[in-house]
Chain A
Amino acid sequence: MKIPLQMAAMVCAALLGAGATYLFHGPPARGVACDPAKLKSDEVCLSRVMGEWHNDVVWVDARSRKEWRELSVTGSVLWNLDTVEDMQAFEAAGAMRMTDGQRVIVFCTNENCGTSRQVAERIRALQFGNEVFVLHGGWRALASAGPDGPPLGKNP
């Protein structure tokens, strides 16, 4: 009988602690945490893109065509490494958008997908001269940003 009581006491203590934290600090942040000090050299935080750069960038979606169509950053360029896609068409479409010299931000599904880094490397290899970054947190960061992120919409 002692064990259930002790466990119940532990659960109550944990709940009280959680309640107090919620009361003083508010609900948990749903966005993707991004510490500039811990970024890899080619990564950027969404807050910097939206704040310091005022979203004046070319967004490149490295997810699948289906995901890009359903919901992505408005005006983003699709450029993934799906082998059924036409890589030359991605290059051409990307090139037409990158002539103004804006920074290029590539994202894929999340921080572990790896495709965004490979696409960024391919864009750099074209030598358009734009600075190319990978978005920390990928689509997860964009989807959870709400009004703090760029506008999202469907693509044709």
Chain B
Amino acid sequence: MRAISLVLALLAGLLQAGDLKFEKELVELNLKPEATTADGDFEFTNASDHPVTISRVEKTCSCLNAQVKGGKLIYQPGEKGVVRAAFEVGNIVGTVDKTIAIVLEKQENNPIVLTVRAHVPVLVELGQKTLKWTLNGNPDPQKVTIHMKYPKPIRILKAECNSEMFKTELKTIKEGADYELWITPADMKRTTIGLVRLETDCEIERHKIQQVFAVVRADRPGEGAAVR
């Protein structure tokens, strides 16, 4: 009976080990269009009654640099600390989640997962990314509306399709702000895909090039009901 009590006490000790409480496990970063980096802080407290040691901080992307502020790894009961995550925006546009795992001593298999959610503004908004025509159907022209969401004008310099199977025409609705890209398929008798590349004069590199797909193919049963 005493042995069982001893085993139970040991197990209880293990379960208690390392009890860091984070104020938030998700930090949202709303970036400015020009931003190339952004920092997010995760504040924590040692809520246990014993010292807690952080063994390591693991990141899931080379774009994320995460470390414990001040390099401090041992925290006494009640002591507070901060994990700082620095996100490099690079070529990402839109919303992206990146995770950090905080691994505590004696809890190697149960890391604390923190998420950095970066919102990188979309400056060139495309009404649609893909235009579709039904195989053997009508080759009616279709359009993609393009709207610039930036205080400075963004002009489209070029619109080129990589396939001769599609004709493209770019219409300027309002210079530097609104455009329409019209695409017309030349052949409806075979499955084709075309990629229209739009080159803009946007001063922020990651928004400079945009692309639209044009596809001629047979209808698919249940199309549009893709799993969500």
Contact = CB atoms under 8 A, between A and B. Distances in A.
A92 B195 contact: yes
A83 B88 contact: yes
Nearest to A81: B96
A101 interface: yes
Lowest 5 A-B CB distances belong to which pairs?
A: A83-B90, A6-B3, A83-B63, A127-B130, A83-B92
A127 B129 contact: yes
A83 B61 contact: yes
A84 B211 contact: no
Interface of B: 2-4, 6-7, 60-63, 88-94, 96-99, 113, 115, 128-130, 132, 191, 193, 195, 209-211, 213, 215, 217, 220, 223-224, 226-228
A42 B220 contact: no
Contacts of B94: 122
Contacts of A41: 227-228
B78 to A, nearest CB: 30
Contacts of A109: 60
Contact of A42 (B62, B96, B210, B228): B228
Interface of A: 2-3, 6-7, 10, 41-42, 64, 81-88, 91-92, 95-96, 99, 101, 109, 112-115, 118, 122, 124-133
A95 B193 contact: yes
Given A7-B3, A92-B211, A129 B220 contact: yes
B130 A99 contact: no
Overall SS of chain B's interface: mixed
22 contacts: A7-B3, A7-B6, A42-B227, A81-B61, A82-B61, A83-B92, A84-B63, A84-B91, A85-B91, A86-B91, A87-B93, A95-B130, A96-B193, A99-B217, A113-B99, A114-B97, A124-B226, A127-B128, A128-B130, A128-B215, A129-B132, A132-B226
A55 to B, nearest CB: 18
Contacts of A114: 97, 99, 115
B211 A88 contact: yes
A36 B217 CA distance: 32
Nearest to A95: B213
Contacts of A128: 130, 213, 215
A61 to B, nearest CB: 15
Contacts of A82: 61-63, 90
Given A96-B193, A126-B130, A10 B3 contact: yes
